[in-house]
Structures are given as structure tokens and as C-alpha cells.
């Protein structure tokens, strides 16, 4: 390149000198003409070169690298090389930016809150979850001091102490739920705050504790009675009448414990097993028949009993679960309805294709405020009545589980002094009409 440029320059200067000499010869000053011609052509060359360099410089000063000036030779190659270098650098920057975007998107998608703060505890960046956890507005609160925005003393103290080996659990600043926060230091005094909403976990843990406490309490009472009687029997000589009385009470207490353990096992089984199949069809008539037999035995003639409908229907589900659910509802109706009352068990189709088994009684009814809590484990409106009649407090939670496992629900309506209706509602997917059944048999009371 250098050689070509040198030769071109020399050629141009020689050419200029020759032309100058020819013109100078005609004017009788050939030497001066040659010198002037050489100087002019050198100046023209220098100007042309400067102009091309200026075009390149103008382009480089511009904001964009597009539209590179087209040139040949030395300046052309220089423009091409500069442009290539710039494009490579731009592609590298774009790739880095994309990597950063992907990285931030990944953190954004995290189910946990991520918040970065600098050494002055000012917010550098946060994902949406963290903003929600701490009640922040990501744009407005950027570069604000976190402790000015989240003023919960436990959180402020935790950040100030600077000992982050253990996570901090505190009530969410929005007044909602419980947050668990973990802090990790990085870089030059920067901190990464990771937050997790543990409200559900806490609630489940509280429920588990309550459940264990309730079960222990329910078992301890009959056990205490039994232990007392065992001691009495082993220490004191009892008459036959007294012995019989003691044995009757002991049998009642063991029955109570057996009932409780039975219900606990049923619940555990319901929670631990897969949902009943949707393609095993059971005749509702058989279910109603068995419910009627059990109800008659339980009531022992103390109530008027009606069982109706379902002769044309089938349910897809588990017969033991459904029998246990309806059995529990009927059992409750019998136990809570005073003698002489009426209990009806009815199968009904609903307009949307679903169906319900309704158990209606003329018992004491339940005040409205208790209704939402009735299906909670061990929730009783009248504890002593429940226990006296062999209740465990788990019946309705079993019914609710069975209903949910069949895609249905339990629906309770009640009026104090008039009676209650408990409906086991089954979705259209799990009920169908039996083919070939003409009339609906009604089971007489």
C-alpha cells in the first residue's frame, strides 16, 4: 500500500512537472514551469487526500455507524476496518445487554422477592415480587433508602445489626401475611435481600399444631376416665351392680376413642389417596338403600325417616367414600334431631346437569355464624351434645373431603329452631342417568 501510494505520488508529481515544463517551455521558463507543475500537483494530491480523510472524520464524529463513506484505496480500507471494529463492538455490547435482560427476566420470574440495595441501603433494583412484598413502587422508589420505606422495627433492626446468618420472619409491611427475609452481602457493600411470603406455610403449621393439640385433648379425656376406673377396679372390691356400671362407662369411653381413631384414619386415607376414578359408575339406588338401613338402625324408631329419588341415577366415584359421607350426614341428623322429629334423604337432579343428595332434618338448627366453620376439624356448636352422642367433631370435615375429591362441595342451610339441610353436591361430570330405567323408585319411610 505504501509503495503504491509513493509511486502514485511520484507519478503525479512527475506528470505535473512534465506538464509544467511543457507550458513553461512555451513561455521560455521551462525549469520554473516544471517546479510549479510539480508543486501544484503535490498540493492537489495533498488536498484530495485531506478531503477524503475529512469525510472519514466527519462520519466518525457522527452519532451512527451506518452509511460509512465509500472510498477506495488507503482511505477506503481504513474506513472499512474502523467500521468493522465498531460493528463488532456494537454486537458485543448488544449480546451483553441481551444477557443482562435474560438474567433480569429470570430473577423477575422467581417466585421469591429479590431486592438489591447499595451500601447506603438505597434500592438499586427489585423484582415485582419484592415490590409487592415490601409495598414498593419500583419506579418511584428507585434509589430510595429501604429503611425509609419499610419501617417495621424488626426489619430495620435486622438490617442495622448486619448479622444475616439467620433469616428474619416478620409481619408483612402491607399488613398482609408473614414474610421471611434473608440478606446476603456482595460486591462493595451491596446487599441482596431475598423475601418469601410464608403466610400459607405458617397457617398450615398452626393448623397442624392445633390438630395435634385437639387430637391429644380428645384422647386424653376418655383415657383419664378409663385409667381412673381401672385403678378403682384393681383397688376396691366392687359389687356386681357397681362392676357392671363401671364396665358400661368404660365401654362408652373405648367406643369414643375407637370412633375418633376410626375418623382420623378415614381422614388420613382421604388425604393420602388418589381421587376416585371418573369411570367407575355406582347405582345411587344401592347407596340410598344402604343409607336407609343404617339410618333406621341408628334412629331405632325415634324419628320419621324418608329416603327418596336416585333410582335412575349413577355416580362415578368411590362407594365407600360416598357411603361414609352420606352416612355421616344422616348420623348427624339422627343424633341432633330430638325424638319425634323428621329426617329426609333425597336425591335431586339440578338444572345444570349436576345433582345433590340432601339430608334434611327438623332438629335444633345452627346459628348463621357457625355455618362457615362447621366443616373445620373438631369444630362443634354444642360440644357436650356432640360428645354425649358419640360425635368426634370430624364428621363434616370427612364429608367435605369426600365431596371435594369427587369435584363437588358441601352446601349447608339451617335455621335455628326449624332444622337443617346438608347437601352433598356432585358435578355433572360424575353423575348420569341410568339407561333403561323408567320410573324412579321411592324408598318408603
Give me the least distance between CB of 344 and ligand ADP, in Å please. 12
**Per CB under 6 A, 318 contacts ligand ADP:** no
**Per CB under 6 A, 260 contacts ligand ADP:** no
Q: Distance between alpha carbon 69 and the CA centroid of its chain, in Å? A: 58
Comparing C-alpha atoms, which of 296, 381, 305, 385 is closest to residue 343? 305
| Burial class of residue 115, CB neighbours in 10 A (0-12, 13-18, 19+) | buried
**Per CB under 6 A, 386 contacts ligand ADP:** yes
For the chain, the distance separating the N- and C-terminal CA atoms, rounded to the nearest angstrom, is 115
Give me the least distance between CB of 225 and ligand ADP, in Å please. 19
| Number of neighbours of residue 138 by Cβ within 10 angstroms | 13
Shorter beta-carbon distance to ligand ADP: residue 227 or 367? 367
**Per CB under 6 A, 395 contacts ligand ADP:** yes
**Per CB under 6 A, 332 contacts ligand ADP:** yes
Choices 183-191, 315-323, 373-381, 427-435 (CB under 6 A): range interacting with ligand ADP: 373-381
Choices 95-103, 282-290, 332-340, 434-442 (CB under 6 A): range interacting with ligand ADP: 332-340
Q: Hey, which residues between 416 and 435 contact ligand ADP (CB under 6 A)?
A: 420
Give me the least distance between CB of 397 and ligand ADP, in Å please. 6
Give me the least distance between CB of 175 and ligand ADP, in Å please. 33
What kind and span of H or E run contains 106?
helix 73-108
Q: Which of 114, 392, 410, 443 binds ligand ADP (CB under 6 A)?
A: 392
Angle, helices 240-272/395-405, rounded to nearest 10 degrees: 20
Choices 16-24, 73-81, 154-162, 391-399 (CB under 6 A): range interacting with ligand ADP: 391-399
Give me the least distance between CB of 385 and ligand ADP, in Å please. 7
| Number of neighbours of residue 104 by Cβ within 10 angstroms | 13
Shorter beta-carbon distance to ligand ADP: residue 309 or 419? 419
Q: Which of 321, 344, 356, 361 binds ligand ADP (CB under 6 A)?
A: 361
Shorter beta-carbon distance to ligand ADP: residue 126 or 420? 420
What kind and span of H or E run contains 397?
helix 395-405
Comparing C-alpha atoms, which of 364, 359, 361, 354 is closest to residue 408? 354
Is 250 in contact with 274 (CB distance < 8 Å)? no
- The count of residues interacting with ligand ADP (CB under 6 A) is 21
Choices 94-102, 187-195, 280-288, 381-389 (CB under 6 A): range interacting with ligand ADP: 381-389
Shorter beta-carbon distance to ligand ADP: residue 146 or 358? 358
Q: Which of 145, 348, 380, 432 binds ligand ADP (CB under 6 A)?
A: 380
| Number of neighbours of residue 205 by Cβ within 10 angstroms | 11
**Per CB under 6 A, 131 contacts ligand ADP:** no
Three-state DSSP class for 381?
coil
Q: Hey, which residues between 341 and 360 contact ligand ADP (CB under 6 A)?
A: none
Shorter beta-carbon distance to ligand ADP: residue 325 or 355? 325
Question: 163 φ, ψ to 5°?
Answer: -105, 105
Alpha carbon distance 24, 19 (integer Å): 8
Q: Which of 391, 407, 408, 427 binds ligand ADP (CB under 6 A)?
A: 391
Task: State the alpha helices, DSSP H only, in 236-336.
Answer: 240-272, 284-299, 319-336
Q: Which of 155, 158, 336, 347 binds ligand ADP (CB under 6 A)?
A: 336
Shorter beta-carbon distance to ligand ADP: residue 316 or 329? 329
Give me the least distance between CB of 248 and ligand ADP, in Å please. 21
Give me the least distance between CB of 194 and ligand ADP, in Å please. 41
| Long-range contacts formed by 119-127: CB under 8 A, 24+ apart | 119/188, 119/189, 119/190, 120/145, 121/145, 121/146, 121/147, 121/159, 121/191, 122/146, 123/149, 124/190
**Per CB under 6 A, 292 contacts ligand ADP:** no
Three-state DSSP class for 147?
helix
Alpha carbon distance 332, 389 (integer Å): 9
The dihedral sign for the CA sequence 278, 280, 283, 289: negative
**Which positions touch ligand ADP (CB under 6 A)?**
332-333, 336, 361, 363-364, 366, 374, 379-382, 386, 391-397, 420
Amino acid at each position: 500500500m505504501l509503495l503504491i501510494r509513493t509511486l502514485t505520488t511520484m507519478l503525479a508529481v512527475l506528470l505535473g512537472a512534465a506538464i509544467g515544463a511543457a507550458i513553461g517551455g512555451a513561455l521560455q521558463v521551462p525549469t520554473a514551469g516544471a517546479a510549479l507543475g510539480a508543486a501544484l500537483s503535490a498540493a492537489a494530491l495533498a488536498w484530495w487526500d485531506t478531503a477524503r480523510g475529512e469525510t472519514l472524520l466527519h462520519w466518525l464524529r457522527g452519532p451512527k455507524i451506518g452509511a460509512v463513506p465509500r472510498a477506495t484505496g488507503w482511505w477506503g480500507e481504513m474506513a472499512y476496518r474502523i467500521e468493522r471494529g465498531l460493528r463488532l463492538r456494537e454486537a458485543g455490547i448488544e449480546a451483553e445487554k441481551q444477557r443482562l435482560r435474560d438474567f433480569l427476566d429470570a430473577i423477575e420470574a422467581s417466585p421469591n422477592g429479590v431486592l438489591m440495595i447499595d451500601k447506603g441501603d438505597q434500592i438499586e433494583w427489585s423484582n415485582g415480587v419484592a415490590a409487592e412484598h415490601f409495598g414498593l413502587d419500583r419506579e418511584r422508589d428507585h434509589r430510595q433508602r429501604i429503611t425509609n420505606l419499610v419501617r417495621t422495627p424488626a426489619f430495620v433492626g435486622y438490617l442495622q445489626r448486619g448479622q444475616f446468618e439467620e433469616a428474619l420472619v416478620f409481619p408483612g409491611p402491607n399488613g398482609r401475611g408473614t414474610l421471611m427475609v434473608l440478606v446476603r452481602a456482595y460486591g462493595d457493600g451491596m446487599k441482596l435481600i431475598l423475601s418469601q411470603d410464608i403466610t400459607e406455610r405458617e397457617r398450615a403449621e398452626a393448623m397442624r399444631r392445633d390438630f395435634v393439640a385437639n387430637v391429644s385433648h380428645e384422647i386424653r379425656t376418655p383415657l383419664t376416665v378409663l385409667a381412673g376406673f381401672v385403678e378403682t377396679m384393681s383397688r376396691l372390691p366392687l359389687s356386681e351392680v357397681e362392676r357392671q356400671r363401671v364396665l358400661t362407662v368404660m365401654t362408652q369411653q373405648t367406643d369414643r376413642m375407637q370412633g375418633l381413631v376410626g375418623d382420623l384414619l378415614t381422614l388420613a386415607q382421604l388425604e393420602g389417596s388418589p381421587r376416585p376414578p371418573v369411570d367407575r359408575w355406582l347405582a345411587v339406588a344401592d347407596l340410598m338403600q344402604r343409607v336407609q338401613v343404617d339410618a333406621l338402625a341408628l334412629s331405632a324408631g325415634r324419628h320419621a325417616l324418608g329416603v327418596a329419588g336416585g333410582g335412575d341415577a349413577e355416580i362415578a366415584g368411590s362407594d365407600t367414600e360416598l357411603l361414609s359421607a352420606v352416612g355421616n350426614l344422616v348420623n348427624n341428623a339422627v343424633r341432633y334431631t330430638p325424638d319425634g322429629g323428621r329426617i329426609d334423604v333425597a336425591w335431586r337432579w339440578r338444572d345444570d346437569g349436576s345433582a345433590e343428595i340432601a339430608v334434611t332434618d327438623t332438629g335444633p338448627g345452627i346459628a348463621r355464624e357457625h355455618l362457615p366453620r362447621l366443616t373445620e376439624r373438631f369444630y362443634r356448636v354444642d360440644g357436650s351434645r356432640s360428645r354425649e352422642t358419640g360425635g368426634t367433631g370430624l364428621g363434616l370435615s370427612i364429608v367435605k373431603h369426600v365431596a371435594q375429591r369427587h369435584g363437588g362441595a358441601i352446601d349447608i342451610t339451617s335455621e335455628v329452631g326449624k332444622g337443617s339441610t346438608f347437601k352433598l353436591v356432585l358435578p355433572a361430570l360424575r353423575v348420569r342417568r341410568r339407561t333403561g330405567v323408567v320410573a324412579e323408585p321411592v324408598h318408603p319411610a
